[in-house]
Chains A and B, each alone.
Chain A
Amino acid sequence: MPFEASSDRRGRQKLDRETVNTLLVFGLSIVLIVCSRFISPALGSWSQVLTVLILASFLVIMSFGQGLVILIGGLDLSIPALITLGGVLTTTWIGTADTGVWYMLPAILVICALVGAVSGIGIVWLKVPPFIMTMATSIVVASVALGYTSGTPRGGSPSALLWLMKSWFLGVPVVIYFTLAFILLGWLLQNFTALGRRLRALGTNRNAALIAGVSVNRLELVPYAISAACAGFVGMMLVGYSNGATLRMGDSYMLPSIAAVVIGGSSILGGSGTFIGTVGGAILLTTLGTMISAIGLSEGWRTIIEGAIIVGALLVLRGEFLTHIGNRMLTRGK
């Protein structure tokens, strides 16, 4: 009986920590947006908030995939390469002519998902550590994209993507409605489907999941495929946003995708974390990035701050960190 009681308490405590963290991240974003008024009067306005949300939508979608991979205890370093792949294929295969856009866009997403599945196969059956396998995939994909385009991708954006990224509905950009729908679906998938529960089980304890009858090997491929498809879709969104693709279009997204998940309260060891938290992390990071560039700090400082935030978030989220510091202070005081 005491065992049951203690396990129950632990479950509640963890839920509380996740909720607290999510609220904290969202609250911090709002405080930052309000405070940004003091830096420059142009910041903190409604249109500026919408710009931040559009920029955050890229990060939200790619970090959904990254979040699933981290949930099962992996790490996906191939997101930048797949963003580029999605973007380059969209401009070269579809382009401004809109040739077969309704079946070509899904086809490109399927190709991206297959690339992700290949990473998964290497991780599951060849026993290559996830970060190395995805790094290898990413180098191969980047190299194929470079060779295929001979260095300069051609073509512009299909009109459907321009519509998604540029048009407005009831005073709000269409892409924000789309992202809200995506967040809802992602949240439902992670929390209310068998797939979501199995992935969480796999991340918490692989052996226990296996004994519980989850086919762990096949399941482990899924997050990598989803992550790759999400990254490919972000590539398409970027094509619509800037009306073209470049070979380096994904480069600046590797760290933010990991940072958003970690700041959102997911454990880097897997098994815990919510998509809503990640969404908060993505918005917070984007707000911070916008502010940093408004202050006029260079790319380098931005990178340093991002790195420091990742390490800080990891330390704070270890949970026992604060108690550790507290104990230290108590023993010192004696």
Chain B
Amino acid sequence: MSAIAANPAPRRSRPWRAVVSGTGIVALIYVLLYALYAFWQPDALSVYTFTDLVNNSTPLALAAAGETLVVISRGFDLSVAGVVSLTNVLMAVYPLDGPGGALISLLMCCAIGALVGLINGILVAKLGLQTIAATLGTMIVCQGLALVILDAPGGMVADFVTYTLTDTLFGVVPIAGLFLVAAIVLWLAFRRTNTGIGLYAIGADEQSARFSGVAVSRVRIAAFVGAGILYGVAGFMLSAQTATGNPTAGTPFLMLTFAAVALGGTPLSGGRGSLVGSILGAGTLMLLQKVLFSGGVSSFYTGIFQGFVLVLAIVFGNAVARLLRKDEVR
């Protein structure tokens, strides 16, 4: 007792911080929601249903992971909708079969994403445009390109991509899940690099970061390029799942990625947050759709729920951010 009294400002222990952080809270929500789903839908605990759920969530989770990079650096990236549409259309119009073809397709998707990210980064960091305005422009251009390549839904994604990437490894591990694991591992490594630390620094306070020697424009460009690559992979995984092309495939991603990021505890004001939270946030959103469906809500009205969840996620994210700030001050 006296030890505590002698030290009036004890820093919270690590486990407590993990629970109270956005990631901990969204993980808890996911588990609770899954329990509800299992209650309504007894086969929810089977490998098949779980694989299906992971397959459904992966494109959004990757896109949200990319968006997180930009949001942490205090920015918004709307180009996600354009890149996902563009890569999806390319996958459907120029299918390359076999493992080699799949690899080339994946690299192509990454390259497109990286290029769009680079353009965003240059527009924002070098030419001084607002993130939302610059990425709005690139989103529109990418959507236009997608329409030029394929003007109506159609085309066929290569069979190898469609079948392999929605399958399971050894009958238990969903292959799509491995992409998420890879993204998480890369993120955990990245956030320890100078660029990773710089990302948080410029999100918290760009001016002080600049004075502390962070190469602000380089970090910003890196964030957009990394985000673009993740959108490219998201488009790749979406194509594997839908097996067809749609020039407006990316449009729903615009809203859902921001909802996933906010739900994952990354405040939209930047400087905080985690990619892992966003991936869980995306999983929660997709799970919610399943739960609503099994709860018997008409598909006409799912938009209403999505709108409300989006706003609630942001309000929730703001509240978590305030909580964390208070915790730090204490």
Interface residues of chain A, those whose CB is within 8 Å of chain B, are 75, 122, 126-129, 131-133, 135-137, 139-140, 142-144, 146-147, 150-151, 255, 258, 262, 268-269, 298-308, 310-311, 314-315, 318, 321
Contact = CB atoms under 8 A, between A and B. Distances in A.
A146 B303 CA distance: 10
A301 B311 contact: no
Given A307-B137, A307-B140, A315-B127, A122 B148 contact: no
B298 interface: yes
Contacts of B301: 143, 147
Interface stretch (B7-15, B51-59, B128-136, B163-171): B128-136
Interface residues of B, number: 43
Contacts of B128: 318
Interface in B231-268: 247, 254-255, 258, 268
B93 interface: no
A147 B300 CA distance: 5
Contact of B140 (A75, A151, A255, A314): A255
B144 A301 contact: yes
B212 to A, nearest CB: 26
Contact of B254 (A135, A137, A268, A298): A135
A300 B247 CA distance: 10
B70 to A, nearest CB: 13
Given A304-B141, A307-B141, A314 B76 contact: no
B145 A146 contact: no
Contacts, number: 128
B268 A129 contact: yes
29 contacts: A126-B311, A126-B314, A128-B311, A129-B314, A132-B258, A136-B255, A139-B255, A140-B303, A140-B307, A142-B303, A143-B304, A143-B306, A147-B301, A268-B133, A298-B147, A300-B147, A300-B149, A300-B247, A303-B140, A303-B141, A303-B144, A304-B148, A307-B138, A307-B140, A308-B137, A310-B133, A311-B134, A314-B133, A318-B128
B190 to A, nearest CB: 26
Contacts of A308: 137, 141
Of all A-B residue pairs in the complex, the 7 with the closest CB atoms, nearest first, are A143-B303, A300-B147, A307-B140, A303-B144, A304-B144, A300-B148, A311-B137
Given A146-B303, A300-B145, A126 B138 contact: no
